[in-house]
Amino acid sequence: MSKTVIASAAAPAAVGPYSAGIDAGATVYLSGQLGLNPETGTLAEGVEAQARQSLANVGALLEAAGLTYADVVKTTVLLADISDFAAVNAVYAEVFPEPFPARSCFAVGALPMGGLVEIEVIAQRAQ
């Protein structure tokens, strides 16, 4: 199996011992994306803006891999506060087309940099 790192100038660079994404051939794995503006390195203001930026970062990485949101088969959404679920869900529904990917959503104790939402995805290439 070959593994190719996925990165994009339109998404934040990895800041630790991990890759923003890995292309494993038929399957692409993207690390969790915070609502970080890739140009400034700062978080967007508010949970909806962070969700939009997180998904924009995901979209940029998908594009770098030659994929789109329609190719996503599984997502994991991490929230600092579960009461933000409805707001994040509304933004999420604007981005992903039907049939929607499978999804898990968790409230966590804290996210890096004080983030309010982090989203990771797994995408599949058409065969």
> What is this structure's pTM?
0.95
What is the pLDDT at residue 71? 98
What is the pLDDT at residue 27? 97
Give the count of domains, the chain: 1
Domain at 106, CATH number: 3.30.1330.40
| Single-letter residue type at 10 | A
Instruction: Return mean pLDDT, the chain.
Output: 96
Burial of 74 (0-12, 13-18, 19+ CB in 10 A): middle
CA dihedral 18, 25, 100, 10 (to 10 degrees): 50
What is the pLDDT at residue 15? 80
Domain that holds residue 85: 4-124
What is the pLDDT at residue 1? 73
Segments of the chain scoring below 50 in pLDDT: none
Angstrom distance (rounded) from CA 16 to CA 115? 17
Residues with active-site annotation: 105
